[in-house]
Amino acid sequence: MKSIKENSKKHIINISIILAISIFITFMFAGFNSSWQDILLNILYGIIIGFSIAIGSSLISKKMYSVGNWELNPINKYIQVIIAITLYIGIDVVIVNLIWFKLTQNLSPTELIHSNMFVWIILSELVIGIVIYLIILSTNFSKKLNKLYIDNENNLKEINKYKYSTLKNQVNPHFLFNSLNVLSGLIYQDTDKADDFVGKLANIYRYVLDVQDEEVVSLTQELEFIKDYLFLQSIRFGDNLQYKINTSSDKMIIPMALQILVENALKHNSITDKNKLLVRISNDDRFVIVSNNINPKSDTANSHELGIANIKARYKFLTSTEVEVLNKDNKFEVRIPLLNIEA
């Protein structure tokens, strides 16, 4: 609400300045020693020409900045706006003056075109209008750039915060403790499987360290990682944990996203002989889909929201497509957007 009031106040000030200048310039051309009727006509003319320039230029600027992502190339967008407004002001002053002189002095367009005074008025209003709007545009553009710089700095801090949060949460003592606990028992039962377990555990930590500075990774990379992670968890939970992976895509996702969702499923559901957990990972053209049946633990209600909030926060810097969360019919499903960008 405050922002709307500030913008309205700013537009009113800009329009008032342009109207005042337009009226003053009108009197400079017409002279101040005129009848009251001429004075009123001059004021009306100044209001019409100033208002048409101010409103039209403001709408053009607003429309052009709302189309596309101007932040990607701000200088190019600024030049485009200047060109568009220059063309508009030129057309506007010609049309307004043609209509005005026809109505007030019954002069035809042919007569006006051959009038040096008319040409001088058009050129003067064009130059003055462009100069005024260049000042306004430059001021607004400077503010936009400053805000863009601040937003980018804040976004970078947010990204780093969530990257650190992801790394900290995944390389944690609990996961390592559980893995070593499983390994200690496995060594005496099946040495080959124990060797495999150690290799996949090493792969997991190597992957975490490799991607900690990456914004995106290929879905193929992430799937290799999550398969190793699920292998370790299947050793821990046995047949009570089942998973099915059916994916095929050369697109990208953010690193560790699948692991966060799988860990949520393991953490927030009871996994027993009576309550088996099935995790499914698949994809369509737009999303990777991670789903699981629901056997909720009584002490972890809604605690999955933190991990999903992490994923959503990281995705908002990369795409306008939102992470989708569905919770119905005894199934919890999260749909993560696939990205068409390079790592």
What digits encode the pLDDT tens for the residues 214-235? 888 999 999 999 999 999 898 8
pLDDT of 41: 76
Q: What is the mean pLDDT of residues 17-35?
A: 60
Class (C level, CATH) for 171-337: alpha beta
Top pLDDT among 5 and 38 is at 38
Domain map (residue ranges) of the chain: 2-151, 171-337
CA distance 201 to 179: 8
Which DSSP string do the residues of 14-28 spell out, in sequence order? Answer: HHHHHHHHHHHHHHH
C-alpha triplet 173, 174, 177: angle, nearest 5°: 80
pLDDT at 1 over 50: no
Tell me, yes or no, if the pTM score tops 0.75: no
Per the rule left: phi > 0, alpha: psi between -120 and 50, beta: everything else, 296 is: beta
What digits encode the pLDDT tens for the residues 74-108? 788 888 888 998 999 899 989 988 988 888 888 88
CA distance 194 to 188: 9
Say which residues have a Cβ less than 8 Å from residue 25's Cβ, sequence separation at least 6: 46, 124, 125, 128
Number of Cβ within 10 Å of residue 217's Cβ equals 20
pLDDT at 287 over 50: yes
Which DSSP string do the residues of 24-45 spell out, in sequence order? Answer: HHHHHHH-SS--HHHHHHHHHH
Q: What is the mean pLDDT of residues 58-67?
A: 83
What digits encode the pLDDT tens for the residues 130-154? 887 787 777 777 777 777 777 767 6
pLDDT at 292 over 90: yes
pLDDT of 13: 66
pLDDT band of residue 323 (cuts 50, 70, 90) is very high
H or E stretch covering 114: none
CA distance 243 to 245: 7
**For residues 207 and 214, is the Cβ–Cβ distance under 8 A?**
no
Say which residues have a Cβ less than 8 Å from residue 43's Cβ, sequence separation at least 6: 23, 26
pLDDT at 2 over 50: no
CA distance 323 to 312: 6
The share of the chain scoring above pLDDT 90, in percent, equals: 20
